[in-house]
Amino acid sequence: MIRDLIDWFTNPANWSGDLGIPNRLSEHLRYTAVVVIIGLVISLPIGLYVGHTGRARWLVTWANAIRAVPSLGLLFAVSMLVGPLIQSDLAFVIPSIVVLVLLAIPPLLSGVYAGIESVDPAVRDAARGMGMTEWQVLWRSEVPNALPLVLSGLRSAVLQVIATATIAASVSLGGLGRFLLDGLAARDAAQMVGGAVLVAALALVADGVLALVQRYAVSPGISGRAARVATLDGSARRGADAAAVARPELDLAEATASAPHRTERDRP
């Protein structure tokens, strides 16, 4: 099986044309980007409003309830209801995008809402005490403090979309899921496993890139990096001070050990 998988990956025919790996990977990335952007456009303002005002929390509850709906069942239901209404090649693409957006909204909305709501009330009071308007309190105080949870929700949504876009190939959507379905139809195990490896690799790379973005986008004071650096600097400084104090004593001990021992006759 491993040899067949290597042969599939090294076959030049699988790296060219509309059915090749680069084109399928590009399709998968396009679908993911479009879905996540649409999900952010919907979730970001709602999450900011609910988290800042504390109103309409039921929207977050209802959005999280969507997670309980089976992805494949929802995909087929929307495709059967919406697909016949579209008289173009987008008859299957649009329903798939709609389902993927519905699945991307819960983690995005939860991340934004939880991040804003978790901001310390003292931070808001301090911002208002400085004369900031509510809009300035939101964008200059709450959003920077909520950024870790917001980006965590974004990472979860991206992984959700990458995984679900694979099964969306069952309704004629492109992407890496075609390798799994086409391999299943042709009983080509190497193609199926190769498609699964590509999806897993794409998810890992996407999560790694977003983790790197999160590391540098979040303020060091909020992420805790500043405290860790200060702790390391303090430990190094204390170690240097201890070494400086111990050095004279070590020098004296070394001088004493190296000095020749004088006998009674050597004494004046």
DSSP string, 21-69: HHHHHHHHHHHHHHHHHHHHHHHHHHHHHHHHH---THHHHHHHHGGGS
Model confidence over 198-210: pLDDT tens digits?
A: 999 999 999 999 9
Q: What is the pLDDT of residue 49?
A: 92
The residue extents of the domains of the chain are 2-220, 224-258
Q: Which fold has domain 2-220?
A: MetI-like fold (1.10.3720)
Instruction: Write the single-letter amino acid at 178.
Output: R
**What does pTM read for this prediction?**
0.78
Please tell me which of 78-87, 118-127, 156-165 the model is most confident about, judged by mean pLDDT. 156-165
In angstroms, the CA 264 to CA 268 distance is 9
Tokens 């303002």 found at: 45
* 187 touches 196 (CB < 8 A): no
Q: Is the dihedral of CA 187, 191, 197, 202 positive or negative?
A: negative
The widest CA-to-CA distance across the chain, in whole angstroms, is 117
- Percentage of the chain with pLDDT > 90? 28
Burial of 10-42, coded b for 16+ CB within 10 Å and e otherwise, reads: eeeebeeeeeebebbbebbbebbeebbebbbeb
Model confidence over 132-156: pLDDT tens digits?
A: 888 888 888 888 888 999 999 999 9
